[in-house]
Chains A and B, each alone.
Chain A
């Protein structure tokens, strides 16, 4: 700790608390506020409770925690989008956030004109933008399209342009919220590379993510927020380890509770509040269309999934298969060749694992419906589980072709 004290504190958070008013039935009109005074009842929910931490210049810090734990609120407090009820926050230097990509974009103006608007919102002067312009255009990979109106862009192009501006703003502090899950794999790795580069230049980075993988790749230190308080602070690996153990424990409890109620489907999955999708039914079918729970290596699983969506929207689907010990075994985004899937009231999907190459273990399947720029529409976590058994001597994560020959 003594070594850290000698470093410059870039972000100082002292005894910060923040509550939100949750209105039961909120009226936005003067008329409503006057006539229905009793409708303005609200309860206060404490989102952050006496939080204190320091972030030092040039370090990358991860904020982790389950949904609704207050980590996004913490990030918003750092950007001064909202103000704390009590406590002090000191932030030194220019802050750029990847919270909102494409702020202020006007669809009828060209990509280039929008770069100027967007960058100016981050507080850049015109000459600074002039200097950065070529770099931004090059990073966005838009080429000649930069002179076309933004409304002609695909969601991927839009995202790339917005990301390029945000990341090329020479900020002292970069705040990233769950954004690296967007774009194709190539662009994603480019972004991670860019973040590493920015970090090397001495920029302080605060990253909020659910992907422990990303957190471990990028962050030196980690802050785990749970139930409005800091649960752990320290070296990334130590904290993520504790967090994963905690998640596993709660997942296990949830599943145990569910098994008592219903063993067939997960109809009453306690959805996160904001989820706009709801499970209707799920079936795991083998190659002969028989339902099974226990599988062998190399089999084919067709996951027939029906779910309801409370809004009509286009979405990309992210499938995740998590092993019971918290290892993310597989994840991928399906975006219907860039067009996204049009979610309706009822949606029928079939997700097929053509060859099951995991080794023995218990696995949970989740999906996340996301909009084009990475915002979560809804999730089913987890909506199905399967067991793989294997009586051979091998163990680990996946089946790979190996042999051992003595010459």
Chain B
């Protein structure tokens, strides 16, 4: 992998991200609002299910859920949608040279920007609900963003490359994503997990990241350092493995289309 070359193609990454964000909603009725509406609907549904139908005993449950759900949607989009990051652009890949890493990078980046925009809603709700924001905690947020971005990038690299060879992987990633969501404290709290299962839940690369977000935004605490380190190790491992898989598979992309 040639990082210098990828850096030389940074304008392409920006262009593709801009194209993705601008083009997606250009012809839709409420345009960019979709970015906010989709997570809001999910929030509504889960809140109904887990605070009305099967109540989970957590104060301000919707907020407890919301700060975890938005990062989760970002992760899940990279896992399932990332599968198409290369195959959707096969016309381009077949006909023109550019460092192939640009495609997963720009996919993950545009999903990341989507998540950042959704965070605006989180801040608004935090302020309106009276929960408020702790400035001492919030300065840690960019670090968590960065760790999650690294993780998402690694996942997107791996998924996008594998899917070129096996097109039905997207379905498998979809099922995997659903399973991982419930094996991660998104809809429930880590405290409610029985002690013997905590170890397994912590094997989920997203667990530490979700806990860090929740510490910062919901509990308004400085995140636990061991949680952050845990998240960083997962993210770095994912990126290294993702890059290795991508590098190994990308040479024969064109011949596989």
Contact = CB atoms under 8 A, between A and B. Distances in A.
A28 B167 contact: yes
B166 A79 contact: no
Contacts of B169: 30
A79 B92 CA distance: 13
Contact of A123 (B9, B14, B19, B26): B9
A353 to B, nearest CB: 37
Nearest to A129: B11
B247 to A, nearest CB: 12
Contacts of B14: 120, 126
Contact of A100 (B8, B95, B172): B95
Contacts of A100: 91-92, 94-96
Contact of A108 (B10, B15, B26): B26
B91 A79 contact: no
Interface in B2-26: 8-12, 14-16, 18-19, 22-23, 26
Nearest to A95: B97
A108 B27 contact: yes
Contacts of A97: 95-97
Listed residue (A21, A81, A125) with the most chain B CB atoms within 10 angstroms of its CB: A81
A103 B91 contact: yes
A104 B92 contact: yes
A100 to B, nearest CB: 3
Contacts of A28: 166-168
B254 interface: yes
Given A20-B255, A30-B169, A109-B26, A116 B15 contact: yes
A280 interface: no
A124 interface: yes
Interface string B167-185: 1110010000000000000
A79 B99 CA distance: 11
A106 B96 contact: no
B254 A81 contact: yes
A125 B9 CA distance: 8
Interface in A73-104: 76, 79-83, 95, 97, 99-100, 103-104
B95 A103 contact: yes
A125 B13 CA distance: 11
Contacts of A113: 18-19, 22
A327 interface: no
Contacts of B26: 108-109, 149
B98 interface: yes
A117 interface: yes
A345 to B, nearest CB: 27
B94 A81 contact: yes
Contact of A81 (B10, B15, B95, B166): B95
Interface residues of A, number: 34
Interface residues of B, number: 32
Interface in B144-192: 166-169, 172
B65 to A, nearest CB: 34
B22 A103 contact: no
Interface in A116-142: 116-117, 120-126, 129
A99 B9 CA distance: 19
Contact of B96 (A21, A83, A117, A121): A121
A304 interface: no
A33 interface: yes
Nearest to A91: B97
Contact of B95 (A29, A33, A99, A124): A99
A31 interface: yes
Given A20-B255, A109-B23, A103 B8 contact: no
B19 A79 contact: no
A17 B168 CA distance: 32
Nearest to A82: B254
A120 B96 contact: no
Nearest to B26: A108
A129 B14 CA distance: 13
B7 to A, nearest CB: 11
Contacts of A80: 97
Interface of B: 8-12, 14-16, 18-19, 22-23, 26-27, 89, 91-98, 166-169, 172, 251-252, 254-255
Interface of A: 20-21, 28-31, 33, 76, 79-83, 95, 97, 99-100, 103-104, 106, 108-109, 113, 116-117, 120-126, 129, 149
5 contacts: A30-B168, A99-B95, A108-B27, A120-B11, A120-B16
- Closest A-B pairs by Cβ, 4 of them: A100-B95, A108-B26, A30-B166, A120-B15
